[in-house]
Amino acid sequence: MLAVNLFSGLSRAPRCLFLGAHSDDIELGCGGSLLELLALKPELEVDWVVFSSNDVREAETRAAALQLLGEKNAARVEVLRFRNSFFPQQATEIKEYFESIKNRFDPDVVFTHFRDDLHQDHRTIGELTWNTFRNHLILEYEIPKYDGGLGSPGVFMPISKQTLDRKISILMDTFASQRSKGWFTEETFRALPRLRGIECNAAEGFAEAFYCRKLSLTA
């Protein structure tokens, strides 16, 4: 499969915005891709926003982000306190926050939730991403969950076995508050990338996948 270089033609450090409704969403949905991108482009500049959290989960997501991003980019992590499970009812306030992100950071790529995600908080973030970033490449990541709704994303980032192992170890080591949940297991974190790896013939068998609704081509 022809691989597209995400940042080809850029003569400055690439910029990526990561948006997640809850602590661990970004890590789960695109943590492997982020590690691969940082290995290829160590100069990558990151802005990272988690919209809902509490003190315990904020500490966890900051610890995970530090491991994933390193010190310089981890300083750009914002963890907010919007009410968990009620994002549609807080859409006005969340939209105002989106405007402030747009004013401070002009990303080349936005990583966000799947716009048709069956979890209402994820869906709100996906919708407001499209509503706010209107001249940007947007990649929507997927989250395995009780609600179901996994589909067939068409954009793949192959990740090495070593990268996947590192992503899983960061998830398992840092998110202690989630370990009691039945779904929060290494098997879950390996299963979906394995399936997506099959779908893109990934060299080492693993990939993260994204929905991309608009892509402008050149040669």
Q: Which two tokens stand for residue 1?
A: 């499969």
The nearer residue to Zn ion, 25 or 127, going by C-beta atoms, is: 25
Nearest-CB residue for Zn ion: 22
Among 212, 189, 41, 201, which residue's Cα sits nearest to residue 110? 212
Residues in 49-88 at the binding interface with Zn ion, rule: CB under 5 A: none
CA dist 16 and 39 (Å) reads 14
Q: Which of 16, 38, 1 is nearest to 156 (CA)?
A: 1
Distances (CA, A) of 33 to 57, 82, 120, 149: 22, 27, 24, 22
Is residue 25 a contact residue for Zn ion (CB under 5 A)?
yes
Nearer to Zn ion, 21 or 69 (CB): 21
Stretch that binds Zn ion, among 13-21, 40-48, 94-102, 193-201 (CB under 5 A): 13-21
Output DSSP code: residue 3: P
**What is the x/- site pattern for Zn ion, positions 183-202, by CB under 5 A?**
--------------------
| Helix axis angle, 161-174 to 186-199, nearest 10° | 150
Closer of 60 and 200 to Zn ion (Cβ): 60
The single residue among 21, 50, 64, 207 that binds Zn ion, judged by CB under 5 A, is 21
Q: Which is nearer to Zn ion, 122 or 196 (CB)?
A: 122
Site for Zn ion in 91-130 (CB under 5 A): none
Type of residue at 78: E
Stretch that binds Zn ion, among 22-30, 97-105, 195-203, 204-212 (CB under 5 A): 22-30
| 159 is an interface residue for Zn ion by CB under 5 A | no
Rg (CA), the chain: 16
Q: Does 22 bind Zn ion (CB under 5 A)?
A: yes
By CB under 5 A, which span of 20-28, 88-96, 126-134, 196-204 interacts with Zn ion? 20-28
Q: Which stretch binds Zn ion (CB under 5 A): 24-32, 174-182, 185-193, 211-219?
A: 24-32
Q: What distance in Å separates the CA atoms of residue 18 and residue 111, rounded to the nearest whole number?
A: 5
Cα–Cα distance, 11 to 205 (Å, whole number) = 32
> What is the contact surface with Zn ion in residues (CB under 5 A)?
21-22, 25
